[in-house]
Amino acid sequence: MRILTLFCVAMLSVPMIGIAFAGDFRPAVVYDTDNKFDKGFNEGVWNGLRKFSDETGVRVEELLIADRTRREQEIQELVESGATMVIAVGFAQADAIDAVAADYPDRQFAIIDVSWLDRPNLRQYAFREHEGSYLVGVAAALASRTGKVGFVGGMDIPLIHRFHCGYLQGAKAARSDIEVLQAMIGTTPSAWRDPARAAELAQGQIERGADVIYHAAGGSGIGVIRAAAEAGRLAIGVDSNQNGLAPGSVLTSMLKRVDVAAYQTLSDGLNGNFTAGVISLGLAEGGVDWVQDEHNAGLLSDSLKSAVEQARADIVMEKIKVHDYMQDSRCPG
């Protein structure tokens, strides 16, 4: 299912040189699932796309792939129909984007959440999720009254263990006696689309005493947030700002700024500044962060905020080294 979304601004607001160049620039975005408004990863990309289109008036084609076995064919069809740049969302599309990039060396490609490919026309974005997870681990430990916090991951893969490991390290740094419970939803891609199972796992952790639960579970994470809110406990969102999904019940959210990656790639393509290679975004680059807003203001004490901000400063200054599970699977703690 291909959806062409046109974002228009008044023509007088776009410089003439931009209009001329925009006519030759035909970008497309391929979402990770068939639901771009997932309140998380895909919607974050859409936010970056919307910002770009609002500012430039450039049309961006959006592709939602229902049949995952056709990823490569669908991306190839985008290029054959005239797309000059294709941005793929999510590591599951790595093989498909790599194959099409090899076949079309004169086009520009990018993929978000991948760092292991190597094409001269392919940009990759990797995020240091463990750094942001460390911050919300500090927050969780300091907000907990029971001395137990939880983590619910989506698909049981090293990337999600990276979230958990950073969270565990931050929680232990803030409170050495904290207990961190862990659960993974599944081992197949369906783990990202099972909020009912996520809610069950969260409820199980709540019954064991956890009063703050962090999820890194994609669309399934909505189940964690609902379960925590219904039980009078706290959840921690991920990827996008999920504080508003249950105001007063979401302690904070760990932002993964995929919107920045999408916006930056589209802007570079339009302006002739596109480069290949891997771009790594962490706390220092504004690629990950935690959220304070009107929805969680009453949940954050001054001492908690101070501790999290100090941890952020120490990570940026490299006074704290956050363990990266992707480099060493022996998670401390």
Reduced to 3 states (helix: H, G, I; strand: E, B; else coil), residue 166 is helix
Confidence bin at 217 (pLDDT 50/70/90): very high
Specify the length of the chain in residues.
333
For 311-323, write each residue's pLDDT tens digit.
999 999 999 999 9
End-to-end CA distance of the chain: 45
For 71-84, write each residue's pLDDT tens digit.
999 999 999 999 99
Is 3 in contact with 60 (CB distance < 8 Å)? no
Is 70 exceeded by the pLDDT of residue 3? Answer: no
Q: Which DSSP letter does residue 176 get?
A: T
Is 50 exceeded by the pLDDT of residue 2? Answer: no
Q: What is the pLDDT of residue 22?
A: 57
Answer with the residue of higher pLDDT: 333 or 107: 107
Return all residues near 151 (Cβ < 8 A) that are at least 6 apart.
163, 164, 167, 168, 180, 181, 182, 183, 213, 214, 215, 216
Return all residues near 184 (Cβ < 8 A) that are at least 6 apart.
152, 153, 154, 155, 156, 160, 191
Reduced to 3 states (helix: H, G, I; strand: E, B; else coil), residue 163 is helix
Confidence bin at 17 (pLDDT 50/70/90): very low
Q: Is the entire prediction scored with pTM above 0.85? A: yes
Q: For residue 290, give both structure tokens.
A: 């935690």
For 32-47, write each residue's pLDDT tens digit.
876 788 877 889 899 9
Instruction: Work out the average pLDDT over 101-121.
Output: 96
Looking at every residue in the chain, the average pLDDT score rounds to 91
Confidence bin at 16 (pLDDT 50/70/90): very low
Give the integer Cα–Cα distance in Å for 69 and 91: 14
Q: What is the pLDDT of residue 18?
A: 36
Q: Which DSSP letter does residue 231 get?
A: T
Q: What is the pLDDT of residue 35?
A: 76
Is 60 exceeded by the pLDDT of residue 13? Answer: no
Report the sign of the C-alpha dihedral through residues 65, 68, 74, 78, in that order. Answer: positive
Q: What is the pLDDT of residue 34?
A: 67
Min mean pLDDT across 16-30, 131-145, 280-294 is at 16-30
In the chain, the amino acid numbered 85 is M
